[in-house]
Amino acid sequence: MKIEADSNDITEHPHDDKPRPYLCTVCHKRFTTKGTLKSHKQIHTTGMLYSCSQCEKYFHSQRYLKQHMNVHSSKYKCTECGKCFRDNQKLTIHRRSHSGQKPFECTVCDNRFTTSSDLVVHSRIHSGEKPHKCHLCDKAFSQPGNLKYHMRVHTGDKPYKCSVCNRSFSRSNHLQTHKRRVHSNRRPYDCRYCGKLFKCSRDLKQHVRIHTGAKPYSCRHCSERFTWRNQLKTHLLKSHSEGTWFTCHICEKKFTQSCNLKEHLGLQHHEGVKPYVCFECQKCFCTVGELKSHLPVHSYYHTNHNKTV
């Protein structure tokens, strides 16, 4: 069973800063009022869910199901890439990924964002605030949504499975990103500086930093700034002994993130599994990074072949 959480749900606004003192002991969501928590608990006690006849997703109320049906009717459809949304607000925000519009600016580092919620989350990079803690391992997060997905590390729950390579994911957006990056050649996002095409908006956003020189990640201990989050993590480990190295027990290679160690172990170099297939030549690779490094070989060939023709 797949359950779709709606970001407009009053029980789940992961990016705002409203106090949420009322905790659901079943799923660890937090709520602003006791009444909201009481209504939410009915999901666990009665199992009342509303299913979509088109894609078999489930929703906590008829209102969210009705909003979701707009996706299938294409009522709010992006004219650039064809992606559909449940309401006009989501479509407006999405269109900024094509136009490059970023109306919300950070007052600390002048970095700009497409939504106010992204700015709120970003501001915690400067403040170091992580108010949402896991009660099992004490790991802290800047937003409750990340805590929710973190809990699946302890439960091992990965409900979203790729139909092509059978790889499983704890979040639906991770599955969608995986499909675009690994199993599709569609690149709807283009860089306004150099015209380079990308499969997802996140890759485009990161690429643009090469042109702008933006360094949104700042060290809370010194004046160092970094372009990429993993650069900041490595700096904190090496220079300030903050954080934990994740070490492979077979080859003793070190990683700054546990997910990178898991990817390194499952696969790949130690087990010989190669789940990532090139759509051009069908060559198989152990990691997404290896596949991405391989793809420009075909781009080079097509470019020079076309020039010759």
Average pLDDT, the chain: 77
Give the pLDDT confidence score for residue 266 in this predicted structure.
Answer: 61
pLDDT over 70 at 144, yes or no: yes
* Highest-scoring range by mean pLDDT, 16-30, 47-61, 167-181: 167-181
Give the pLDDT confidence score for residue 305 in this predicted structure.
Answer: 44
- Residue 223 lies inside a defined structural domain of this protein: no
Q: Which tokens go with 240? A: 């300030």
Total number of domains in the chain: 1
Residue 288 has, within 13 A of its CA and on its CB side, a CA count of: 14
* Share of residues in the chain with pLDDT > 70 (%): 84
**Is residue 181 a contact partner of residue 165, using CB atoms and an 8 Å limit?**
no
Range 60-71 average pLDDT: 82
Q: Which tokens go with 14? A: 């992961």
**57 - beta bridge partners?**
2
> What does the alpha-carbon distance between residue 213 and residue 94 come to, in Å, rounded to a whole number?
24
> What does the alpha-carbon distance between residue 102 and residue 111 come to, in Å, rounded to a whole number?
9
pLDDT over 70 at 17, yes or no: no
| H/E stretch holding 30 | strand 30-31
Fill in the DSSP letter of residue 269: T
How many angstroms separate the Cα of 80 from the Cα of each of 91, 173, 193? Answer: 11, 20, 18
**Is residue 207 a contact partner of residue 187, using CB atoms and an 8 Å limit?**
no
Neighbour-count burial for 271-295, b at 16+ CB within 10 Å, e otherwise: eeeebbbbeeeeeebbbeebbeeee
**Is residue 31 a contact partner of residue 22, using CB atoms and an 8 Å limit?**
yes
Give the pLDDT confidence score for residue 220 in this predicted structure.
Answer: 86
pLDDT over 50 at 288, yes or no: yes
pLDDT over 50 at 1, yes or no: no
**200 - beta bridge partners?**
none
pLDDT over 80 at 45, yes or no: no
- Residue 191 lies inside a defined structural domain of this protein: no
- Residue 65 lies inside a defined structural domain of this protein: yes
Phi, psi of 182 (to 5 degrees): -100, -40
pLDDT over 70 at 185, yes or no: yes
Residue 285 pLDDT level (bands cut at 50, 70, 90): confident
- Residue 285 lies inside a defined structural domain of this protein: no
Give the pLDDT confidence score for residue 272 in this predicted structure.
Answer: 66
Q: For 84-106, how does the pLDDT look when each residue is reduced to its tens digit (9 = 90+)?
A: 888 898 898 888 888 888 898 98
Distance of CA 293 to the CA centre of its chain: 21
- Residue 232 lies inside a defined structural domain of this protein: no
- pLDDT greater at residue 267 or residue 263: 263
pLDDT over 60 at 11, yes or no: no
- pLDDT greater at residue 43 or residue 139: 139
Give the pLDDT confidence score for residue 18 in this predicted structure.
Answer: 62
Q: State the pTM of this model.
A: 0.38
- Domain with 67, as residue range(s), is 1-75
pLDDT over 80 at 262, yes or no: no
Contact residues for 148 (Cβ-Cβ < 8 A; gap 6+)? 14, 27, 28, 29
Number of helices and strands (H, E) in the chain? 11, 21
Q: What is the CATH number of the domain that holds 59?
A: 3.30.160
